[in-house]
């Protein structure tokens, strides 16, 4: 996983007044050090990461080693009755 691009990253780019008239690569505005969970992480560990990073995080990438496996959303934890 090289990084993640979220709606928040795009909003922050707008706030920085990025020149939208020129071609821009995702790499320029993505988060290259996202908070991650592994396929072996417990739901409680994922929730703790979502809540204790100094900002509200509603989804985290799930990895196996460095390979992207999917996304765990806060909604998934709520739906399963884990929150």
pLDDT (tens digit per residue) in 17-41: 667 677 778 888 888 999 999 999 9
pLDDT at 7: 86
Segment among 10-14, 38-42, 63-67 with least mean pLDDT = 10-14
Does residue 1 have a pLDDT over 70? yes
Structure tokens at 4: 């993640």
pLDDT at 12: 84
pLDDT at 40: 96
Residues 62 and 67: their CA atoms lie apart, in Å, by 9
């Amino acid at each position: 996983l090289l990084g993640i691009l979220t709606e928040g990253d795009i909003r922050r780019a707008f706030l920085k007044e990025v020149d939208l008239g020129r071609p821009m690569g995702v790499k320029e505005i993505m988060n290259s050090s996202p908070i991650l969970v592994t396929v072996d992480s417990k739901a409680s560990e994922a929730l703790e990461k979502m809540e204790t990073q100094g900002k509200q995080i509603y989804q985290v990438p799930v990895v196996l080693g460095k390979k992207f496996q999917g996304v765990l959303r806060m909604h998934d934890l709520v739906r399963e009755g884990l929150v």
